[in-house]
Structure formats: C-alpha cells, structure tokens
C-alpha cells in the first residue's frame, strides 16, 4: 500500500513529494523527492493540455442506436396504432401468410433493404411490423431502424398472439378511387375479403348499388384465417345515357353467414367524362 504526501516550502520555493510504501509486516519505506514549483506548474499544464487533446480528438460514435427506434407492442396496441392512416402496416413473414386486415405491404423479413422503394420516404412514418411469432419481425425491425426509420413498432408474438384477441371479417380497402374514367370504357379494380376468425365463412350474396357496377369473388367459402379477391368492374355507359357522368360513388355489398359480420361494404369512386 502507498501513501502520498505533498509539502511546499516557501523559502526555497520547492515542492516536496513524499511517497510512503507500507508493507504488510508494518515496515514503512520513505521515498522523498524535491521539485521546483515552476516545474510542477509546467507539468500540470502539460497534463491538462494532453487530456483536452485526447477528449476532443476522440472518434465520435456514429453507430445507429437501432434499439431506440424500436418499440415492442401488444396486439391491443397494434390494433390501435393500425388505425392511423399515416402508418405503414408491414407483414414480413415468409412464406407469405394471410395478412392482418389493413396490412399495407408485404416484404420478406430478409429483403428489407432490397425493397426500400416500397417503404415511406418520410423516415418519421410509423411502421408496424409483424410476422407469425415475432422472430422474423424482430430482424426486420432492426433493418428498418438501420435505414433511419425512427418509429418502428414490432408486434410481440406476431399473428399467433394477435389472433387470440382479434377476430374479424373485413373487406379492404374500405374505398377505392378509380380516378378519371372515360365514358364508354370499363374500369376494373379489386378488394380483399379476409376471414380473420377461427371458424370457416360462407359468402351468401354479392350485390352492388347500381347496374353499372359488377362484383364477384374468387372463392365463396373461406377457411379460418383465409382471404379471397373481390373483382369489381365499372361501366358508366351501361345505361346508354348521361346518368353516370361526373363525380360518382358506387357501393359493393357482400353478405356472409357470420352472425357478427353479416354484411360488408366497399365503395368505389370515379370521375366520368366523355372523350372529346
């Protein structure tokens, strides 16, 4: 063990350093050294300058703190956040599964960087990412954070957990804009009907609000957690008059055998003009 003692003698303008070495057996060895005050001050200044240079020239930590951008969320939180129209709901599970209703895009978890064009340009956009159990989405969330996205939400437990607290039959999107449609031409689009429930579903009837609009489904029977495509066509000239000109909206009705979701609706909008 060592003990350091500092003494300053005014007369000789000298600083005495005494270093005592104490051995276990109680013996004390004394090392004494005398230094001029100016020398001591010079050494202290030099040490201070070296310390400042080391701290200012220390390389900055430029690594991305990916964990600060990622938040783990429950199925209930996921459902609430998914209602935000600005959010991107992203399924990353492979092989591709039946998506949670309202899903915006599908990108395999290991191909996030190769599909940057499918991601929002605004890096502050909330991104809700999920897979089947949570492992693939965890990897995808890290990649999204490394790309600079600051609001990444990872569904804990994936769709396995989501199914336990969320049951629905839905038609998405709720509305499709066809844009400008030329009178005499037929516009087409699609909706997705999803049976996100543990029981099978039967489609009992399909109808529309106007004869100018027709709809059909690719499958009238859906198993648990399955989906089908609804094909829609719009022919504004079907009545052979001007009743279907201008800004229009038409509704698609789908009836099912589900007691909780007996009727679903989807809307198409269009601006119909005659070709000049």
Query: What residue spans in the chain does CATH classification 2.60.40.10 cover?
Result: 168-273
CATH fold, domain 66-165, is Oxidized Rhodanese; domain 1 (3.40.250)
pTM score, whole prediction: 0.69
Please report which confidence band the pLDDT of residue 276 belongs to, taking 50, 70 and 90 as the band edges: confident
Residue 11: band (very low, low, confident or very high) from pLDDT cuts 50, 70, 90: very low
The pLDDT value recorded for residue 221 is 97
Helices (H) and strands (E) in the chain, counts: 4, 17
Q: Which residues pair with 91 in a beta bridge?
A: 106, 130
CATH 3.40.250.10 domain range(s) in the chain: 66-165
* Largest Cα–Cα separation, the chain: 118
Q: What angle do CA 210, 211, 217 make, to 5 degrees?
A: 90
Q: Percentage of the chain with pLDDT > 70?
A: 76
User: Would you identify the CATH topology of the domain 168-273?
Assistant: Immunoglobulin-like (2.60.40)
Side-chain-side CA neighbours of 204 within 13 Å: the count stands at 10
* Average confidence score pLDDT of the chain: 84
Mind listing the pLDDT tens digit for each residue in 206-222? Answer: 999 999 999 999 999 99
Q: Any idea what the Cα angle at residue 73 is, between residues 72 and 75, rounded to 5°?
A: 145
């Amino acid at each position: 063990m060592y003990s350091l003692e500092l003494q300053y003698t005014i007369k000789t303008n000298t600083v005495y350093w005494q270093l005592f070495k104490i051995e276990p057996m109680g013996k004390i060895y004394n090392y004494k050294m005398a230094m001029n005050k100016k020398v001591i001050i010079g050494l202290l200044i030099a040490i201070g300058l070296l310390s400042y240079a080391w701290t200012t020239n220390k390389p900055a930590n430029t690594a991305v703190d990916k964990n600060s951008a990622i938040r783990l969320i429950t199925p209930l939180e996921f459902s609430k956040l998914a209602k935000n129209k600005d959010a991107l709901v992203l399924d990353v599970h492979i092989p591709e599964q039946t998506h949670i209703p309202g899903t915006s895009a599908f990108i395999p978890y290991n191909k996030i960087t190769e599909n940057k064009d499918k991601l929002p340009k605004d890096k502050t956009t909330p991104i809700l990412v999920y897979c089947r159990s949570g492992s693939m989405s965890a990897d995808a969330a890290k990649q999204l954070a490394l790309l600079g996205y600051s609001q990444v939400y990872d569904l804990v437990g994936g769709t396995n957990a989501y199914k336990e607290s969320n049951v629905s039959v839905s038609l998405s999107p709720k509305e499709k804009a066809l844009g400008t449609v030329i009178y005499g031409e037929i516009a087409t689009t699609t909706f997705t009907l999803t049976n996100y429930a543990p029981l099978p579903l039967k489609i009992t009837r399909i109808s529309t609000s106007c004869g100018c609009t027709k709809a059909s489904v690719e499958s009238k029977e859906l198993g648990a957690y399955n989906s089908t495509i609804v094909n829609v066509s719009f022919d504004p000239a079907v009545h052979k008059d001007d009743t279907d000109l201008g800004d229009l909206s038409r509704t698609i009705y789908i009836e099912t055998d589900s007691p909780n979701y007996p009727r679903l609706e989807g809307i198409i909008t269009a601006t119909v003009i005659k070709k000049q």
